[in-house]
Structure 1
Amino acid sequence: MIELVRKIFKESAEVKLAFLELYEERIVEVAGIIATALRDGNKVILFGNGGSAADAQHIAAELVGRFKRERRPLPAIALTTDTSILTALGNDYGFETIFERQVEALCTPGDVAIGITTSGNSENVIRGLRKAHDLGATTVAFTGRNGGKVAEIAHYTFIVPSYETPRIQECHITLGHTICELVDRMLCEESSSS
């Protein structure tokens, strides 16, 4: 069992380091886009299924609450938290529409929409990102494997180089935390220099 524990931690670290090599500059770029959107009065909209839904909620909570620094709350919403909306949309329109309809209701030009799907092929995430794109939001996909269909839709795609769902999810939350820390720093530096 100790060997299995070591293997899991080693794999997780190796995937994250490989991801970093691919995307370190894009991470900074996307964090800057999010910071600018928030500074300009826009919001971040996040969505995904299962563990990715939990990641969407986690990242939204870090932005609305605080990450490491005391600062004003930042407008972010996870589209996975309102069970009445989710079940009504799923029942009336189909599960594939649950993010698309909410994006249509809430998204405005200048917002940032982050769709999270380990496979890149979750139909409801694809449709949510496509609708956000059409409404003038900057779209970001957190995915894995070969990127899936979301890689063709999003303005910015982060593909974790793994086919193992747990390793992909571990990298996604590290990416989310990193973006939150960079956004905090960017916004705090802007406010202290003005």
Structure 2
Amino acid sequence: MVLNELRDHQNIIQLVIDTLTGEIEQACQIITSTIQSGNKVLLAGNGGSAADAQHIAAELSGRFVKERKALPGIALTVDTSALTAIANDHGYDRVFSRQVEAFAQPGDLFIGISTSGNSQSVLNAFQSATAFGCKTLGLSGRDGGKMNGICDLNIIIPSNVTARIQEMHILIGHILCKAVDELF
């Protein structure tokens, strides 16, 4: 079982190397230009993707590897009062889009994470981010889902296995943070 899991992970990472390197480089350019312009990065996802959003935001506001100034990385998944109030008053599908409306400025970057590419709360946040003049980056899997048509760049992990998709999302998140570190 262990060896099979490791081999499955190895196969997916090879597919990512073979097919997504250019898109990951493009994502690095998007996040570094956002930071260089003095803008912020907003992130959201549900479940394990929420944890990934929080992880990436923490690497930006704390540090990744290099000691540098704190950077504005904000996970829209952490304020339980806002999440429950918005879900109660506007429906769960609006929990991230309402926060985008509250915090986004033109030139900011919204990163939406969804293994299926079809999480309505994330899709709505993409629409709000676009309306506010934000750049948009998706991390998805399977066939990319509805995120394909609504974000500037959707990095689609070539897998149908949620665990493999999430593993690659956090790897890409770390690569993005490394690119930001190299600015300093």
Amino acid paired to 2:128: K
Residue 73 of structure 1 and its aligned partner are, at CA, apart by 0.7
* Structure 2: distance between partners of 1:60 and 1:165: 21
Amino acid paired to 1:24: T
Instruction: Name the counterpart of 1:82.
Output: 79
Residue 8 of structure 1 and its aligned partner are, at CA, apart by 0.5
Instruction: Name the counterpart of 1:178.
Output: 175
Q: Deviations over 1:133-161 (max 9, x none)?
A: 11111100100001000111010010000
Larger Rg: 1
Residue 20 of structure 1 and its aligned partner are, at CA, apart by 2.1
Pairing 1:93–2:90 present: yes
* Number of aligned positions between the proteins: 184
> Which residue of 61, 68, 72 maps to 2:69?
72
Residue 123 of structure 1 and its aligned partner are, at CA, apart by 0.3
> Which residue of 46, 58, 61 maps to 1:49?
46
Give me the TM-score of the superposition, normalised by structure 1. Answer: 0.93
* Structure 1: distance between partners of 2:6 and 2:82: 38
Amino acid paired to 1:128: A
Give me the TM-score of the superposition, normalised by structure 2. Answer: 0.98
* Structure 1: distance between partners of 2:84 and 2:124: 17
Residue 16 of structure 1 and its aligned partner are, at CA, apart by 1.6
Aligned 8 A contact 2:113 2:140 in 1: yes
Percent identical residues: 48
Instruction: Name the counterpart of 1:40.
Output: 37
* Structure 2: distance between partners of 1:157 and 1:145: 12
> Which residue of 155, 161, 181 maps to 2:152?
155
Pairing 1:18–2:15 present: yes
Residue 168 of structure 1 and its aligned partner are, at CA, apart by 0.5
Q: Deviations over 1:71-113 (max 9, x none)?
A: 1111110000000000000001100000010001111110010
* Structure 2: distance between partners of 1:134 and 1:17: 36
* Structure 2: distance between partners of 1:25 and 1:174: 15
Aligned 8 A contact 1:32 1:183 in 2: no
| Aligned-partner SS, 2:64 | coil
Instruction: Name the counterpart of 2:6.
Output: 9
Which structure 2 residue ranges, 5 or more long, are not aligned?
Answer: none
Aligned 8 A contact 1:121 1:148 in 2: yes
